[in-house]
Amino acid sequence: MQIKDDVGSIDPQLERQVETIRNLVDSYLKIIHKTQRDIVPKTVMYLIVNEVCCIVHPLSSCCSVVLLQL
């Protein structure tokens, strides 16, 4: 992979590799964003339900395993 002598012009193979890497990173970040959008509301609801469970049944086992089930 050599850069041509012309200013601003690079090897076409290098351009393809850079574009491929950009696409892979973009896809990865989209997956991460989608996963977080999916997991955060579920986690919040889980914690709310467990907190209510602890208030309603303070001696039950649900209070002690809140973080273990995440």
Residue 1 lies in a domain: no
Of the pLDDT bands very low, low, confident and very high (cuts 50, 70, 90), residue 68 is very low
- Check whether 64 has a pLDDT greater than 50: yes
Residue 5 lies in a domain: no
What is the domain count for the chain? 1
Residue 55 lies in a domain: yes
The closest alpha carbon to 69, from 43, 39, 40, 37, belongs to 43
Residue 40: domain span: 12-63
In the three-class reduction of DSSP (H, G, I as helix; E, B as strand; rest coil), residue 67 is classed as: coil
DSSP class of residue 60 equals: S
Mean pLDDT of 63-70: 51
Tell me the residue type at 13.
Answer: Q
